[in-house]
Structure 1
C-alpha cells in the first residue's frame, strides 16, 4: 500500500532511482566498513572515527541521504518514501549503514522542521543532516520524571536573553553533546502553559554534566546542571508557553524511532539470531532442530512476534499520509517493541546459561560478556522515552478515548 506522495511517482521512476542508488553506493561505500556502525552510537559514548568512516559520513552528508526524506533546502535528500525504502534496501544488500544519526535526526530535527522559524532551520538542520553536531535532550528532572510538566528549571527573561537555572537528569549523551533542546519553565504561575522549548549551547558558561553509571556498567546518561546560563532569545522555538505542545510532539518522534528498536536487536544478539544462539549453546536433534522442544516452541513464538511487529511497523509507515508524521499510536509501538526486546534478552540469557551471566575474567568470550551487559541495558527500554505505564495512559486517553474519572 503506497502513501499519497508515492502514488505521484511512477514505478519506473522508482526503479530508475534504484539504479542510481546502487551505482552511488558502489562508488562511495568502502566494503571494509561492512559490519560496523555509526561511531556516535556506542552505549559508552561516541568512538573515534576512522578515516574511512569519516569519508563515508561526509559522502552521505553531502548527498543528504543520511536523512533521505528531509527537504533538500536544508541538506536532506528530498526523496519520496518509496525512494527512501529503495535506498535502505540497497544499503542492506551491501552491508552499508547510515553514518548520520543521534537525537538530532531521531527527534529534534523533525520537530524543528515543523515548529522552527526559517533562521533556526537554516542554522541547525543542515548541520544535523551532515552529522556535524551532537544534540541531547533536557527533559526529566529529579522531581519531574513521569510528571514531566512539574519541571522547575527556570528561564528568567533578561531582555535580550534568558538566564537559565535548574537541573536535568538522565540526559542521554549530555557529556558528549554540543547542543541541548530543553523544556524550561518561563512562567511559574501556570503548569503546562508555563513551559517553553529552548535550545542551549552545552559549551556555555554555567553548564555542568556529571555522568551516571548504570547497572550494566555503561554511563550513557548524566545529570546536567544549569547555573546562570545565558541563552539568546533567538533560541526559543515557537512562542513562550508553547513548550509542552512542542515537547510532546518531539516525544512522538522519539517513540516512533524507539519502537523500531534503534538497533537493539543487533546489540542483544551480536548480529546472530536467537535460533543460531540456541543451536550453539543447546545443540540440535537428529533433524537439525533446536534440541529442547519447549525452548524451540518459545523461540518460534518470539520470532513470530518479532516478524509481525516488523511488518506492522512497515505497514504503519506505508499508511502514513503526507507529512503528518507520527501519532499517538507510536505509544503502542513503543510498548510492543520494548516487550519484544526484553523477551529476546531473557531468552538469550536462558539459552546461554552461566555463559550468559559473566561479568569479567577468564572463561567467557567477549560476546558472552557483552550479553550480560546488553541484557541489563535492555531493562531500560521500557523506561526511557516514556515508561510503559505512561504509554498506557497515552493509549487509554488519546486512542481509546478513555478519560480520567473525577
Structure 2
C-alpha cells in the first residue's frame, strides 16, 4: 500500500499497508505498562501502609473499571472525530496524570483519608486513560492496515496490551512506591513522545456517523460472544490462586502465567487468522479449546494438569477478540468505526465485572472448582453468539449522505 500526505500532514490510505503498526503497538505497550506498574503497589499501599480494610482496597481498585466502561462510547466518538493518534495521546496524558496523583498521595501533609482520595482519583484517571488508549489505538491500527488486515493489526494491539500489563506489574512488584509512581509517569510520557513521531492516518469517511443505538445493534452479537468468553479470563485471573491454595498446591501464580503464555502463543501463531476467517468455525474452535482448558482446571487431580488447562484456556481465549472484532467492524461504516471499537470493548468491561461477581457467588455456594465449570459453560454458550454474529446479523450499514 501507499500512504499519501494530506494538506494537514496526516496520511490517507490509498491501498493496503501495515506501516506503523509495530510502532503504535509499542506506544500501547508503554501506556499499559504505566497502568500495570500500579497494580501490585496500590492494594499494598491502601491496606498495608494506610491501614484500610480489604473491602476498601477492593472498591478503590474497582473504580478504574467503572471509569473505563463509562469512557468507551465517548472515546469512540472522539476517535471518529479527531483520529486515533490524538485520542491515544490524550489517554497517555491521563496515565501520566494518574502517576503524578499517586505520587502526591504519599505527601506527609496528607492524612490517610486524603491519601486514599488521591489514590482513587488516580484510579479514575487510569480508567479514563485505558478507555482512550485502547479504543484510539484499535482504530489507529485498523486505519493503518485497512480492513483486509485489521485482524492482524488488532492481534498486535492485544499483544502490546498484555505485554505491557505483565511487564509493568512485574516491575511494580519489585519497586518501592515512589519509584513506581515516577516510572509510571515516565512510561506514559515516553509513549506520548513515541506517538508524536508516528504520522497519523485520516480515514476519509463520507456521510454522518451512525447513532449509538444503531452501532450497538450492529455489534451486540460479536460483543456477546466476547463477553461470554471473558468469563474464563475473569475466573483464572481472580480465583485460580485461591483454588490452588484450597487444594494445598503451591504455584497458583504460575497458573496465571500459563494462561498468559497460552494467550501470547496463540496471537503469535495465528495473528492473521481473523483476516482469513470466512465463517464462525475458527471462533467456535477457539471457544471449545478455552472450555476444555477450563474443564481441566475444574477436574485437575494435580497442579500440572491445572497448569496445562490454564495454558489451553488462555490459548483459546486469545483469538476470540480479533475473530469477533471483524464481524463487528464490518457492520459499521468508517465514520462510526471508533464508536464500534469502543462499544465492543465495553462488552469485555461489563463481562469482567459481572463474571467476577458471579464467580464469587458460585465459590461460596459450590466451592472454588465450580467457578471453572461455570466459566467453561459460558465459553460454550458463546458459540451460539458466534453463530448469530455470522448468520443472524443484518447487512452492513452505510452512513447517510451528509
TM-score tier, shorter chain, comes to: 0.3 to 0.5
TM-score normalized with structure 2 length: 0.35
Compare the two structures and name the one with the higher strand fraction: 1
Greater helix fraction, Structure 1 or Structure 2: 2
The structure with more radius of gyration = 1
The two structures have a TM-score, normalised by structure 1, of: 0.35
